[in-house]
Amino acid sequence: MPKIKDDIVEKIKASANIVDVVEDAGITLHKSGVRYFGLCPFHADRNIGSFTVNPRMNIYMCFSCGAKGDPIKFVQEHYGKSYQEALRYLAAMYNIYIDDTPAPKVIKREPRAPLPPLQWMVWDYTIVKPYLHHTEDNVLLTWMLNLPLLPEHKRNLKNNIEWYMVGTSLKGYTQGWVIWPQVDMDLKLRDMKFMKYKTDGHRDKAHNPNWMSAMLAKVGQFNPDTHRVRRCLFGLHLAALHKDAEICLVESEKTALLCSAFTDPTKRIWMAVGGLQFLTADMLDPLIKANRYIVLFPDADGRDKWQDVMDAIGYERMSMTGAMRPVSEGGQYDPIKDGPKADIADIMIRLMSDIPETEAEKVARMLGAPDKAEAIQYMMDKLDLQRVC
C-alpha cells in the first residue's frame, strides 16, 4: 500500500471529527456542556461517565481503562487497523482523495469545521480582597511572623503580606489554606493558588495545591473549553510599582515573601515561578519585554537545571546568584546547616539567627513583648539607659 503524502495526512487530521468517528462506531453519545459521554468500547463499561469525548481537543478518553487518543487512534484501536489503514478509512469518510487504491465503504461526513481560538481569561484583582487580613487563621503567616526577625524585617514582612496580597481561604475543603494570587503588571488576576501548610512552615504534601480556575470550572463559573488561563509570576504586579528594581526569582511563593522582608522593594523585588520546572521563557516574557534585570535564586538542588534554562533563553540581562554556591566555593550555602534542598530564605534566616541579640531585644524578650524591641531601643538611646539585670 503506497505511503500517504504528508500534506494529505495533515488534511485528514484537520477534517476528522472525533464525535463523528465514535458515533459511526455504534456508540451512543450524550452531550453535557461542550463534551460528550458514553459507554467505553474498550472495556466492559456499564456506567456512563468515564468515557468522554472532547470535540475542541478532538480526542477521546476513558478514565477507567485509560484508553485515549485522536480519531486516527480510535479507528486503529476499535477496528484493529494499521496507521495507514486508519488514515484511508478517515479519508474516505471525509471525501479526501489519496490515490487510485479502492477506498473503504464508510458513512460520508462533512469535514470538521475550524473552532474559534480559546480566549485568555483574567479576573479583577479585587477578587482577592475578602481573603486578606486573616493572619490569625493562617498557620504559615503566623509561623513567619514568629520567626526571630529584627523589628524592621518583621515590619517589612507585615507590609509585604499586604503588598503581595497573600490571602487565607475561609471555608470549605481549603479552609485555612494560604492563597497565593498571580497578578500581572496590569493588575489583572491570572489565577490563585491554594496551598496547605503545617505549623512548622513546611508545606503539607498530603494535600496537592488547588487553583481558583479549577474550582470555578467545577461549579460552572469557568469554561476551560472556551477560555484558558495564562499564569504568571507571583509578585509580578510589583514590577509596575518599582520600575528600576532588580528582579530576584525564586522557586516558591513562601521563599519570595520571606526574602522580601530583608530587602528594600525599590531596589529588589522577589518573585516566584511556582516550582523548579516553571522557569520558562513564556513565564519571563513580561520581564524580558520590559528589559528588567533578573537574578535567579534556585534552590540548592536546582542550580544546574536553572543554569541550563537560563542558557537556553539567552536573555543578556539575566544572571545566576552566587549566594547559592556552597561556602567552600565562596557562596553562602552550608550543606550541613541548611540541608540538601535549602533555598535562599533558609540561608537568610540562618544568617539572621547567628546575629547576637541587642540589649533592647533581650529586654523585650524578657518582658514577653519581642515586637516592642524597636520602641525599647529608642527609649534606651534617648535616655542613655543600660540593662542592669
Q: What distance separates the 2 farthest-apart alpha carbons in the chain?
A: 104
CB-based contact 271:236 (threshold 8 Å): yes
What own/partner pairs with CB < 8 Å and gap ≥ 24 does 154-157 have?
154/261, 154/371, 155/374, 156/260, 156/261, 156/262, 157/257, 157/258, 157/260, 157/261
Contacts 24+ apart (CB under 8 A), 63-68: 64/40, 65/40, 67/40, 67/42, 67/43
Choose between 297 and 47: higher pLDDT: 297
Q: What is the DSSP string of 173-202?
A: GGTT-EEEEEE-TTSEEEEEEEE-B-TTS-
DSSP secondary structure string for all residues of 118-154: PEE--EEGGGGGGGSS-GGG-HHHHHHHTS---HHHH
Asked if residues 296 and 284 have their Cβ atoms less than 8 Å apart, the reply is no
Q: Determine phi and psi for 385, rounding to 5 degrees.
A: -90, 155
Instruction: Give the pLDDT confidence score for residue 148 in this predicted structure.
Output: 83
Residue linked to cell 473503504: 104
Inter-axis angle of helices 6-15 and 71-79, nearest 10 = 90
Residue that has been written with the C-alpha cell 509596575 in this structure: 240
Residue type for position 324: M
Question: Cα-flanking dihedrals φ and ψ of residue 320, to 5°?
Answer: -105, 135
- Give the closest residue to 16 by CA, choosing from 65, 98, 87: 87
Instruction: Answer yes or no: pTM beyond 0.75.
Output: no
SS3 203: strand
Query: If you average pLDDT over residues 112-138, what whole number do you get?
Result: 90
Residues 15, 133: Cα–Cα separation, whole Å: 54
Question: Residues 59-82: what's their mean pLDDT?
Answer: 94
The whole-number pLDDT of residue 327 equals 85
Return the percentage of the chain with pLDDT > 90, whole number. Answer: 65
d(CA 222, CA 254): 28
Summarize pLDDT for 187-196 with one digit per residue, the tens.
Answer: 999 999 999 9
Q: Give φ, ψ of 319 to 5 degrees.
A: -140, 170
* Domain residue extents for the chain: 6-93, 120-353, 359-389
Write the pLDDT tens digit of every residue in 304-344.
Answer: 999 999 999 999 999 999 988 888 888 888 888 888 888 88
- Give the span between the Cα atoms of 318 and 295, in whole angstroms: 6
On whether the CB atoms of residues 49 and 40 are closer than 8 A, the answer is no
**Alpha-carbon gap, residue 78 to 217, rounded angstroms:** 32
CB proximity list for 235: less than 8 A, separation 6 or greater: 164, 256, 260, 269, 270, 271, 272
How many other C-beta atoms are found inside a 10 Å radius of the C-beta of residue 378? 11
pLDDT band at 388 (very low <50, low <70, confident <90, very high): very low
| CATH superfamily of domain region 6-93 | Zinc finger, CHC2-typedomain (3.90.580.10)
Query: Are the CB atoms for 176 and 162 separated by under 8 Å?
Result: no
Residue 385 has pLDDT above 70, yes or no: no
Mean pLDDT of 203-222: 91
| pLDDT for residue 389 | 44
- Residue 368 has a pLDDT of 67
Place of cell 459507554: 39
Question: Looking at residue 124, what is its pLDDT?
Answer: 93
For the cut 70, the answer to whether the pLDDT of residue 375 exceeds it is: yes
Average pLDDT over residues 131-158: 92
Report DSSP state, residue 126: G
Q: What is the Cα gyration radius of the chain?
A: 28
